[in-house]
């Protein structure tokens, strides 16, 4: 899978150079709805994607090379501001604990086909493949108890990062505001897995790391608006 992603990224860079294609820059914003299972860890149970984040507001930057009027290929980078999900809130439920909002990053290669290239309205359909990560933090997490007549909880900050692959299908319709600027709605559906974990407790160091042996599959359904400027 990693070799396939690398090949896709290299192709996205190499093909436009050979074709002397024109560059388009894009910016997207929307709202993402989580589905599926995110993660499973002994002692913590299974995180559904909605347990990690009940939703996110993703921003994405696109750089695409137009290979004619209809076909384009390029790269994307996205950052999502998440809302703490139910499972993450459980870890923050003890007195004195609190959660930072989860965050999501993603980058990779994408390609799109416009059904009416150069028209006032351009319906389009695209594919993407890349890498993703999710990060979360629990402040003053209770990781143990000192026994005694009055048990004393042991607290420290917990940080977690999950990384893996994703692949997506998306589509939309762009309205041509001017000869170079287009804007319109889009819908995307991405499926992926977190295959690498890194979980640490400040007082203990790394408590889980390396490959995820029982990777789960999750999805994001995102609705939003995209703006595109053709150079």
Percentages (nearest 5) of helix, strand, coil residues in the chain: 10, 70, 20
Domains and CATH numbers, the chain: 2-230 (2.40.160.20)
Of 56, 58, 54, nearest in space to 85 by CA: 54
Where residue 18 falls among pLDDT bands split at 50, 70, 90?
very low
Nearest residue to 57 via CA among 34, 74, 88: 34
Residues 119-178 have pLDDT tens digits of 999 999 999 999 999 999 999 988 888 888 888 888 999 999 999 999 999 999 999 999
pTM: 0.85
Q: 3-class DSSP state for residue 101? A: strand
Q: How many helices (H) and strands (E) does the chain have?
A: 3, 10
CB 137 within 8 A of CB 100: yes
Q: Give residue 141's pLDDT.
A: 87
- For 45-61, the pLDDT digits (tens) are 677 899 989 999 999 99
* 223, 191 Cβ separation under 8 angstroms: no
Q: Are 170 and 151 in contact (CB under 8 A)?
A: no
pLDDT at 7: 52
């Amino acid at each position: 899978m990693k070799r396939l992603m690398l090949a896709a990224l290299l192709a996205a860079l190499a093909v436009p150079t050979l074709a002397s294609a024109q560059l388009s820059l894009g910016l997207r914003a929307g709202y993402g709805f989580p589905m599926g299972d995110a993660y499973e860890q002994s002692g913590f149970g299974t995180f559904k994607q909605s347990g990690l984040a009940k939703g996110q507001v993703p921003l994405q930057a696109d750089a695409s090379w137009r290979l004619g009027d209809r076909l384009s290929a390029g790269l994307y980078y996205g950052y999502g501001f998440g809302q703490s999900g139910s499972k993450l809130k459980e870890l923050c439920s003890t007195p004195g604990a609190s959660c930072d909002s989860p965050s999501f990053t993603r980058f990779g290669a994408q390609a799109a086909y416009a059904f009416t290239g150069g028209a006032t309205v351009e319906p389009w359909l695209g594919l993407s493949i890349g890498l993703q990560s999710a990060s979360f933090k629990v402040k003053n997490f209770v990781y143990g108890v000192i026994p005694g007549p009055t048990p004393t909880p042991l607290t420290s900050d917990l940080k977690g990062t999950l990384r893996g692959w994703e692949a997506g299908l998306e589509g939309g319709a762009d309205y041509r505001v001017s000869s170079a600027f287009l804007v319109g709605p889009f819908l995307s559906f991405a499926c992926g897995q977190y295959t690498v974990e890194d979980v640490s407790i400040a007082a203990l160091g790394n408590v889980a790391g390396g490959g995820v042996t029982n990777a789960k599959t999750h999805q994001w359904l995102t609705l939003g608006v995209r703006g595109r400027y053709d150079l």
